[in-house]
Amino acid sequence: MIYARGLVKRFGEFTAVDGIDLDVAPGEAFGFLGPNGAGKSSTMRMIGCVSTPSGGELRILGKDPVRDGPAIRARLGVCPQTDNLDPDLHVFENLTTYARYFGIPRAEARRRATELLEFVQLTEKATSMVEPLSGGMKRRLSIARAMVNEPDLVLLDEPTTGLDPQARHLVWERLFRLKQRGVTLVLTTHYMDEAEQLCDRLVVMDGGKIVAEGSPRHLIDTYSTREVVELRFGDEAPSSYVDKLAGIGERLDPLPDRLLLYSADGDAAVSELHRRGFTPSSVLVRRSTLEDVFLILTGRTLVD
């Protein structure tokens, strides 16, 4: 579905995407994970054939995006990071009008619009204008709009950012259903749980480069330890404990409010801590997550 080698995007002097390789297979759910400015959206726009690569090789659905842009876009569904729904059209008209851009006949467009509004649970809002909709409703409408041409490949740039937990779960559930239908999904996200829930495979991007690649499980196994101990010390800055705790666990990461201690066996590490006479104000042993992988790879927390 997607094949990229040494893909580059430059804006003037600035390199936003710095030579990345990608292979996405049909039916796969593929994710981009990365901090702000990592180059996720720039990559998505190149895949969506609206932004011309500055270098490298890119094939989408086996075609060249520069030469066959319209033919490729006919088979893509795109949900951009910021909604660009049409404010002059009401909800239903937003979908039917969009369908017309794909050359879908009027009657068929109406049929699909009805079905899609049902799918994203916006049927009662059909004749509402876009402006008064809540952020989550707009997002769902954007997703519905991306489905209107029954695409083979769907690109979702941060599909659930800014949604409340309930709306998020609804979107996840809908995306999961698409995946079951065999639609290939490519998404970017800041949420680890989203990546773990939806993605078969993901890449972590930082500074325009891919710094890691694999399934969520694989990434956790490769880059993190099995367990993580979160320690809080009431008085002093967590960083001041890094030297004192040296030798316990495999790695220590001081965050502003807490210290992360990576260890295959969290409980053993905690015993060792107590044996050395440290008394943290709180101790939490948990399984390692993608969030930890992210922190290790980029030195940053995800949601800032």
Partner 1 sequence: MVTAILANRLVASPSRIGAVINRNVGALRSGPSYWLVLVSGFFEPVLYLFSIGIGVGQLIPSLTLGDRVMSYAQFVAPAMLAVSAMSGALAETTFNFFFKFKYVKTYEGVLATPVRPMEIALGELLWATIRGSLYTGGFLVVMIAMGLTTVGWAIVAFPATMLVGLAFGAVGMAVSTLIRGWQDFDLMFAGQFAMFLFSGTFSPVQDYPLGVEIVIGITPLYHAVELVRGITTGALSLGMLGNVAYLVAMGGLGVWLANRRMTKVLCT
Ligand X SMILES: Nc1ncnc2c1ncn2[C@@H]1O[C@H](COP(=O)(O)OP(=O)(O)OP(=O)(O)O)[C@@H](O)[C@H]1O
Q: Is 163 in the site for ligand X (CB under 6 A)?
A: no
Stretch that binds ligand X, among 35-43, 64-72, 274-282, 286-294 (CB under 6 A): 35-43
Q: Provide, rounded to whole angstroms, the least separation between the CB of residue 23 and Mg ion.
A: 22
| Closer Cβ to ligand X, 157 or 292, answer by number | 157
Cα–Cα distance for residue pair 251/263, rounded to 1 Å: 7
Q: Which stretch binds ligand X (CB under 6 A): 33-41, 194-202, 236-244, 270-278?
A: 33-41
CB atoms within 10 A of CB 34: 29
Is there binding between residue 41 and Mg ion (CB under 5 A)?
A: yes
Residues 69-88 that bind ligand X (CB under 6 A): 81
Distance of CA 270 to the CA centre of its chain: 34
Find the binder of ligand X among 2, 4, 29, 38 (CB under 6 A).
38
Residue 298 binding ligand X, by CB under 6 A: no
Q: Which residue has the tokens 């580059």?
A: 8
Three-state SS at 239: helix
Q: Does 42 sit near ligand X (CB under 6 A)?
A: yes
Number of residues that bind ligand X (CB under 6 A): 12
- How far does Cα 149 stand from its chain's mean position? 23
Q: Which stretch binds Mg ion (CB under 5 A): 45-53, 73-81, 249-257, 285-293?
A: 73-81
Query: 262, 288 in Cβ contact below 8 A?
Result: yes
42 in contact with Mg ion (CB under 5 A): no
Structure tokens, 143: 């997703």
Report what 89 binds from Mg ion, ligand X, partner 1, none; CB cut-off 5-8 Å by kind.
partner 1
The one of Mg ion, partner 1, ligand X, none whose footprint includes residue 37, by CB under 5 to 8 A per kind, is: ligand X
Q: What is the rounded distance in angstroms from the CA atom of residue 1 to the CA atom of residue 152? A: 9
Residue whose C-alpha is closest to residue 145's, from 182, 187, 109: 109
Residues at the contact surface with partner 1, assessed by CB under 8 A: 11, 48, 50-52, 67-71, 73-74, 76, 78, 80, 82, 84-90, 93, 96-98, 100-103, 129, 145, 149
Q: What are the E-state strand segments in 1-149? A: 2-11, 14-24, 29-33, 55-60, 76-79
Give the chain's length.
304
Write the CB contacts of 46 (distance below 8 Å, at least 6 apart in sequence): 7, 9, 17, 52, 53, 58, 65
Interface ranges with ligand X (CB under 6 A): 11, 14, 16, 34, 36-42, 81
